[in-house]
Structure 1
């Protein structure tokens, strides 16, 4: 009854008390393990599975023992204990040595083989193993094996480059989870793995959709601790994309605390996510330390560290790092994130032609992978390059396309970047009213998020260009579209004096004309 109602804490309490009074059968001990796992009591869950394994062996139930050994092995491997985990998976194989090859448990033992092939980038062997497991699942009617097989097939297809078919298999596995067809432990594994794949191919929309579905599913189980391992990190990333930076920071810190000791495979990812949030908030020293911690835990600090160097004014170092990592990276979605960052650093260094090359490849990847996030990245990067090439009208079209993607994905920080770039394009086209609105939108979002560095880039304190107070007044009026005659009347000056002020302003700002001076005024907060 308690298990059917998913009252995990009560079930765990009742069963453990019962075990103290009298020996339980192996299937009841497995229930203790499941309840403990769901509540985040990993050590207790492992101990119960070991007892269940021994109980099945004593009763001569090889399939039952093998299933317990399989789940214990998989859980240990996922928590960063490959030696112990591998030992238990080996026991599972030995236990089934004299059993039929097509029992459900034999299908489960194809899963580690498929995962090993994936780790070796052997997608064909992985697909063969998971497809064989799927056939066994169909014959045996085993829902866990069917869902795990579908997940593995999806992972193998994505690794092979067949992303559209791959995500169909991922979706099938998640439908089985949210429909309640899959055991609770398998559900957590599948959800986390699907999020990993969605993150890898930059499919933010699918991540958001399945996270929302899982949140509803988890809401009916108050004792459930679903978010563990990489799931904690992905949850932080999704919160970050939605502009919930404070909540994302709390999740990232929780992930670091849970994963860093004893060291688990996802710890480096957790530190990297923490570093990204610090960088976005302008806390450079904290970001530097977190990137260092990520490297210590085996995770690449790029492209985040390069963007930190760019924020610190070292575009050359940022560009060199990104180019080196790109030479070593062949996975398309991973290259896409690096290429977007490289285009940004190259534009900052004044290398528009090289940035164009990076953006062309980024566009090709976006077309191949076909996820909204990649489409937005490609359009926004293309718009920035077009601006640098003085093609403002074309830049507007790309940036407006990016803006639509960010609105659809509810990604306010990226949308603010698009607003800021659109403001520059509108100014270049002489549309100062729209430019003002775009800048106000960017400033409002940066202020709300706490993006201190980005906000500062739109409004420079002090006296840009070493302008005199009177010159700042004249520049503000120029930016508002006033003629010299009207400025003279407003400030009670002669037109000749206004002409001298305008000439001095152009010289100090090193810009060629009034339009460029207007752009400067908006970009640097002289006109609000």
Structure 2
């Protein structure tokens, strides 16, 4: 096949998003036979195939060709893209050099061009990385103004997505999500170049996940997946797509499928050298192992995430809880919540904090965490966070001994989670509702509903959660051979009652109470009522007020 035919084949494959065919055809054509358009196609194709070094070099060649031909606008775009690809491949110094060269060309122009806007995107990123979120937002507005001036829909869509993410960081959640919606319109219309479309898709999905807008995250993940599937040979963005699919599959209770998607994501991320993303995969995989009861595997995954610089909270705190150390779990979650006051981090951590703190008998702290979560719901207005808040309120009410309030909040959580397709969370909320129904006197309905919740948890492989739920209506095991009556007596001792008061409460004689205490002291090997009370609290035979 001749050069002309190869170029025709390459251009046709490029237009169709068939990156494997385009890459093969373009590799057979010498650079000197290509114009600036073709060199840009080479660069974009290499990027989509995950060949970032080749892509960056090709964008630089396209910059040179466009500049030599007097096409300054194209040159600025290619220079900006070369820098972005070098950043992606972990070469910030080379990226800075590319950017400086492009900016020098930009400074030589008498009037701004649309290409100036693509260079300005780097200023947005730089300000964001350095914590100047307000400055980054203002810079993104400047990009939007330039995009409007030149009717550049690609640049405008990018600026919208950036503005939306930055407004979310500034706790202007509703405004930010509205802009993400608007950016999605541009993606749907096909007006965004493929190399930028993947970036915008990922920004939109990640923004929705940040604010726990699970319905949008699921819908946009499906669109991102379909976009990836339409492009044979695509490597770039497929790792992100696989992670997002895994998160949605985990929500649906499809744990085997989620695990398979994480394997794909890790392979793709390693292929393009994205270490931060590999760490996130380890954290997600650790959460899956923990939910399914493989605590050793979960601990290993969380360790790998930490080694790559990612704190695997809040899952790591739940793992410590599941390993039986409630106080250490509470310490871990307190540290995580206290370390990052950012509302987005708090929204991610507080639901777990409530659960762990209740388990550590820190009920007042748990209630405070639930109240903060409620405030975040008012600020965010997102479905997943509202469900988490209702679930937190239900747990606090139950811990406080108010089954009626627990049932009301629990039903709200159950309905909300079910509407989002969250099988695990919905079943856990149903289990709490079941024990509340039982506590309110409807014993048969409570037991029937609990059995249903446990069956749902078992069906998806969440066996530890099923066991915890089943135990809600089972009497706790009695340690050291204590009888049921001895446990009752010991609990009342822990409450501070004397022998006569215990006798009145249990309708026993003083002599019988004394005999029970003698047996209790011998069985648990203590010599005082104070030590016996401490034992009762330690073994959860009585709840602290």
- Give yes or no for TM over 0.5: yes
Aligned length: 470
Tell me, yes or no, if structure 1 residue 45 matches structure 2 residue 55. Answer: yes
Structure 1 unaligned regions, length at least 5 = 473-503, 509-528
Q: In structure 2, do the counterparts of structure 1 residues 359 and 299 end up closer, same or farther at CA, with 3 Å as the change threshold?
A: same
After TM superposition, the structure 1 = structure 2 runs for residues 234-383 of structure 1, keeping only pairs within 5 Å, are 234-260=244-270, 262=273, 264-383=275-394
Q: CA deviation at 1:231?
A: 4.3
Q: Who is 1:453 aligned against? A: 464
Residue 178 of structure 1 contacts residue 214 of structure 1 at CA under 8 Å; is this kept in 2? no
Residue 318 of structure 2 contacts residue 356 of structure 2 at CA under 8 Å; is this kept in 1? yes
CA distance in 1, matches of 2:416, 2:469: 23
Q: 2:446 is matched with which residue: 420, 435, 440?
A: 435
Q: 1:73 is matched with which residue: 68, 77, 83?
A: 83
Per-residue displacement from partner, 1:159-182 (whole Å, max 9, x unpaired)? 211111111111211221122100
Q: CA deviation at 1:100?
A: 4.1
Residue 221 of structure 2 contacts residue 244 of structure 2 at CA under 8 Å; is this kept in 1? no
Residue 113 of structure 1 contacts residue 129 of structure 1 at CA under 8 Å; is this kept in 2? yes
Aligned to 1:266, the other structure's residue is in SS state: helix
Q: In structure 2, do the counterparts of structure 1 residues 131 and 441 end up closer, same or farther at CA, with 3 Å as the change threshold?
A: same
Q: 1:166 is matched with which residue: 166, 171, 176?
A: 176
Residue 236 of structure 1 contacts residue 247 of structure 1 at CA under 8 Å; is this kept in 2? yes
Compute the RMSD of aligned alpha carbons. 2.6
Residue 80 of structure 1 contacts residue 265 of structure 1 at CA under 8 Å; is this kept in 2? no
CA distance in 1, matches of 2:337, 2:356: 14
Q: In structure 2, do the counterparts of structure 1 residues 83 and 249 end up closer, same or farther at CA, with 3 Å as the change threshold?
A: farther
Tell me, yes or no, if structure 1 residue 156 matches structure 2 residue 156. Answer: no
CA distance in 2, matches of 1:330, 1:463: 40
Tell me, yes or no, if structure 1 residue 394 matches structure 2 residue 405. Answer: yes
CA distance in 2, matches of 1:453, 1:308: 11
Q: In structure 2, do the counterparts of structure 1 residues 452 and 274 end up closer, same or farther at CA, with 3 Å as the change threshold?
A: same
CA distance in 2, matches of 1:89, 1:137: 20
Q: Who is 1:115 aligned against? A: 125
Q: Who is 2:490 aligned against? A: none
Moved more, 215-224 or 405-414: 215-224
Q: CA deviation at 1:133?
A: 1.0
CA distance in 2, matches of 1:98, 1:43: 28
Q: Who is 1:214 aligned against? A: 224
After TM superposition, the structure 1 = structure 2 runs for residues 489-504 of structure 1, keeping only pairs within 5 Å, are none
CA distance in 1, matches of 2:475, 2:338: 43
Structure 2 unaligned regions, length at least 5 = 1-11, 485-515, 521-545
CA distance in 1, matches of 2:286, 2:405: 35
TM-score, normalising length: structure 2: 0.80
Moved more, 217-226 or 138-147: 217-226
Moved more, 164-173 or 377-386: 164-173
Per-residue displacement from partner, 1:62-82 (whole Å, max 9, x unpaired)? 332221121121123234333
Q: Who is 2:106 aligned against? A: 96
Q: Who is 1:482 aligned against? A: none
Q: In structure 2, do the counterparts of structure 1 residues 42 and 78 end up closer, same or farther at CA, with 3 Å as the change threshold?
A: closer
Tell me, yes or no, if structure 1 residue 179 matches structure 2 residue 189. Answer: yes
CA distance in 1, matches of 2:100, 2:279: 28
Q: Who is 2:154 aligned against? A: 144
Aligned to 2:16, the other structure's residue is in SS state: coil
CA distance in 2, matches of 1:4, 1:208: 28
CA distance in 1, matches of 2:477, 2:310: 42
Q: CA deviation at 1:203?
A: 1.4
TM-score, normalising length: structure 1: 0.83
Q: CA deviation at 1:335?
A: 0.7
Residue 326 of structure 1 contacts residue 338 of structure 1 at CA under 8 Å; is this kept in 2? yes
Q: 1:224 is matched with which residue: 234, 237, 242?
A: 234
Residue 121 of structure 1 contacts residue 159 of structure 1 at CA under 8 Å; is this kept in 2? no
Q: CA deviation at 1:459?
A: 4.5
Residue 43 of structure 2 contacts residue 54 of structure 2 at CA under 8 Å; is this kept in 1? yes
Residue 202 of structure 1 contacts residue 333 of structure 1 at CA under 8 Å; is this kept in 2? no
Q: CA deviation at 1:336?
A: 2.3
Q: CA deviation at 1:397?
A: 0.9
CA distance in 2, matches of 1:273, 1:108: 34
Q: In structure 2, do the counterparts of structure 1 residues 434 and 75 end up closer, same or farther at CA, with 3 Å as the change threshold?
A: farther
